[in-house]
Structure formats: structure tokens, C-alpha cells
Amino acid sequence: MSRLQLALITGIVVFFYLVLAVIYGNNQYMNAETTEILKNGFAVHYIQDAKDFSGNNLLTLVISAPLRIYESVLSPLAMLILLRLVSLGFLLWALYKYVSRKTLAWTVIIYLLSPWFLYNTHFSYTSYMEIGAALYLLTLVKLRNRPDSFISYFVWSFLHILAIGWCLHFHYSGVILCLISIALMVRKILCINIQGLVLGSCTSGFLIYLGILAARTNSGMYITHDFDEGYLGFGITHVYPVLKSALYWLRFSSTLGQNHLVLETGFNWVSATEVIAQSFRIIWLAGIYILGLMTMLWSVLGNWAAAIEAKGYVFTRNEPDCDSGYISVVSVYALLATMVFAGMAPILLSSDELNVIFPFSLLPVLLIIDKLSEAKLSRHLLVMTVIAGILITIGLFGAVESGWFNAEFNYYENASILVDSFFN
């Protein structure tokens, strides 16, 4: 595959992603958390001095900053979509020396059109975590071997710690990234510059402090930061949370999206007759689950292959002797870190709270695809077209008729009402 063909496929997929993301963003249900996030962001813009950023946190800045560039309630939505698109750029940057161009094209399709990725296009603390996770993965690649240049070594080390701090600011599931780093450093695969570590730790510490402060003063913005539901080690004593985290890992790289997306499509618009609408719904659910289970088996195969390849490196001091070996090691450590975190977490974690691992969960599947990169381009393009079409169809249904998104909701109108409240 040539660079032009890769660029063309990327451009087409990005176009469909933008269309779906805009529909998702405008059709989102504004729950208490979303409303609180927007209110605080709007308050920073309309009440505080434009040059005063004191008392802010990242969740208010991602709302108020775009308003200062272009004053419209659509600006924060555009920023959200842009940041999520930038996360794809980080992911491609991390992988382009490790996999073929065909696999990079598959990465664009699987990442951007994933039901999990699209369904998280709403204002929530977890919606901003993918960019931090993708940047973190990029730094893992850049710091695999100590860079020769001190500046490069320092910058990537700083960004590595900053990416962790970014994710921890929005949700404590960013601890998973810390566990991965610790494991890789113990194995002496990851090299971090001391100066970059110190500066990054100070910056990340400040971000985490702002996040904790915001959680205490605006509990509606950080609903799941409430530890009253359980206790440290809740997942270990109940076992199920650990198993569920492993199941989410497998589902993230499949087409079997969130239950809210799959189960709540009614097809009442097809016919007023209940029997006909119900028949369409049964056909839809059967197709979704059959395809979902097939792609989930592919995910299991990819993770099995990654585990076999990483077996000689994860618990030994042997260095991975190939690029795919290093990616396999990273993915295995990410899965283990996810299960450890789920065991220590005080509550049963939802898919939104674990989406920090989404980019990592795709790695085993991409490695399996890369092993098939020698197949004819025409075959890849045919399968890509079919898979992309299916994902777009699933995404479209999710955007207009699902648990948290519906054509009857209108973000622009509801957000405009919130803005008007500051002047009335």
C-alpha cells in the first residue's frame, strides 16, 4: 500500500467519523454530570476575566478555552472531537515503524469507527482520556531505547509522565498507566530521563491536585470519584470486577459495543405495528451479537498470540528481539495492570471508566492483522469496506436511537439555554 492510498483511506474514514461524531455530540443526553461540566466551563468564560485562569482545572479549560477562540456553544464540542481525532494521530505515530501501512489503515478504521470510541463522544471526564492514553503509548515507543539526544530524551520523558497526570486528572483509572510504567521500568525496557521525570511529576502532581480539588468542590462533575460505594480491594474480594475488566479488554477490540447502544434500539420508526418493529429489532440484535462474537473471537486469538509471543519477555530479563515482541509485551502488561487495578478499585468499574486502556486493547488485534499484511491489497480493501460499512451502520443507529443518544435530544438548544442563564 502506498502512502497516497493510506492517506486516501484515512481521509475517507476521518470524514465519516466527523459526521458521526457531530451527530453523537448534538444528540447527547445532558445528564447531571454533563450539565455540571458545561456550567462550570461556561462560568469560567462568562463570569471570570478572560485572562484569569486561576481556580481552573482541565475540565473547565476544555470548555472555556474554545469559547475564547470562537464564542459558540458548538466550540467545546468541536474541541472534544478534535482532541479525540488527535489521539488517532498519536496512535498512528506510535505504530508507523512497527506495522505495515495496511495495518495502519486498519488502525484508522478500527479506532475511529469503533462503537466504544464513538459512543463516548459526549461531555464527560472520561471522554478526554483517550488522547492522554494515546500520547502515553507514543512515549512508550519513543523511550523503548534511550534516545541519543538529551533534548529528545528529556521531552519524551516529560510527556510520558504528563500523559499519566492528564489521565489521572480526569479519573483515577489513570493508575493503570502508572502500573504499566512501573512494570516496564522494573524490566528495564523503559528508560526515563531523571530531569524529565522530576518536571513531569511536578506538572502531573499539580494536575492531579486540581482534579482532586474539583472532585471535592463539584461532586457532580466527578460522580464515580465517590468511594463510599466500596473499599480498597473491593474487586479482589468480589472477583467479578477483575473478570469483568478482562472481558471489557476483549470487547473493546470487537464490534460488540456498549449494552446501551445495542439493546435500546426500538425500530418503532420502521412501522407502527409492534410485531413488525419487534421483528426488525430481533434481526438487528441477532446480527449485532453474531458479528460481535465473531470479532470477539478474533480478539481472543490476537491476545492469545500476543501472550505466546510475550511469554519469554514478561517475567524474564530477556529483551524483545523484534518490534512485534515489544508491542506484545506492552499489551500483556496493560491487560495485567487493568486486572490489578480492577482488583484494587473500590467500586465495580464501568466501560467508560476503563476506556483509558482502549488504545492498548487494539494492539493484539492489529498485530494479528499485520501478520496478514502480505495478502493482496484488493482483499484487504474489500474486507475494510465491509467492516467500515458495518461499523458506520452500528454507529449511526447508536447516534440516533440508543441509551445516551437520541435524535430527540439537542445539545445546541440545551447548551444555549445554559448560556442564557448567565445573563438572566
Distance, CA of 148 to CA of 385 (rounded, Å): 42
Distance, CA of 43 to CA of 317 (rounded, Å): 53
Which three cell numbers, joined as nine digits, stand for 305? 498470540
What per-residue confidence (pLDDT) applies to 79? Answer: 94
Per DSSP, 416 falls in state H
Distance, CA of 124 to CA of 156 (rounded, Å): 28
Distance, CA of 352 to CA of 350 (rounded, Å): 5
Least confident of 264-278, 316-330, 373-387: 264-278
Domain that holds residue 62: 3-420
Q: Region 9-32: what's the mean pLDDT?
A: 94
Q: Helices (H), strands (E): how many in the chain?
A: 19, 0
- Mark out the alpha helices in 351-400 (DSSP H runs): 358-361, 363-371, 377-400
Residue 406 phi/psi, 5-degree rounding, is: -155, 145
Is residue 121's pLDDT more than 70?
Answer: yes
What per-residue confidence (pLDDT) applies to 156? Answer: 94
- What pTM does this model have? 0.92
- Mark out the alpha helices in 253-345 (DSSP H runs): 259-263, 274-314, 323-344
Q: Report how many domains make up the chain.
A: 1
Distance, CA of 64 to CA of 42 (rounded, Å): 6
Alpha carbon 123 to chain centroid, angstroms: 13
Sign of CA dihedral 298, 135, 94, 317: negative
Is residue 55's pLDDT more than 70?
Answer: no
Q: How confident is the model at residue 408 (pLDDT cuts 50, 70, 90)?
A: confident
Most distant pair of Cα atoms in the chain: their distance: 70
Distance, CA of 292 to CA of 321 (rounded, Å): 34
Per DSSP, 208 falls in state H
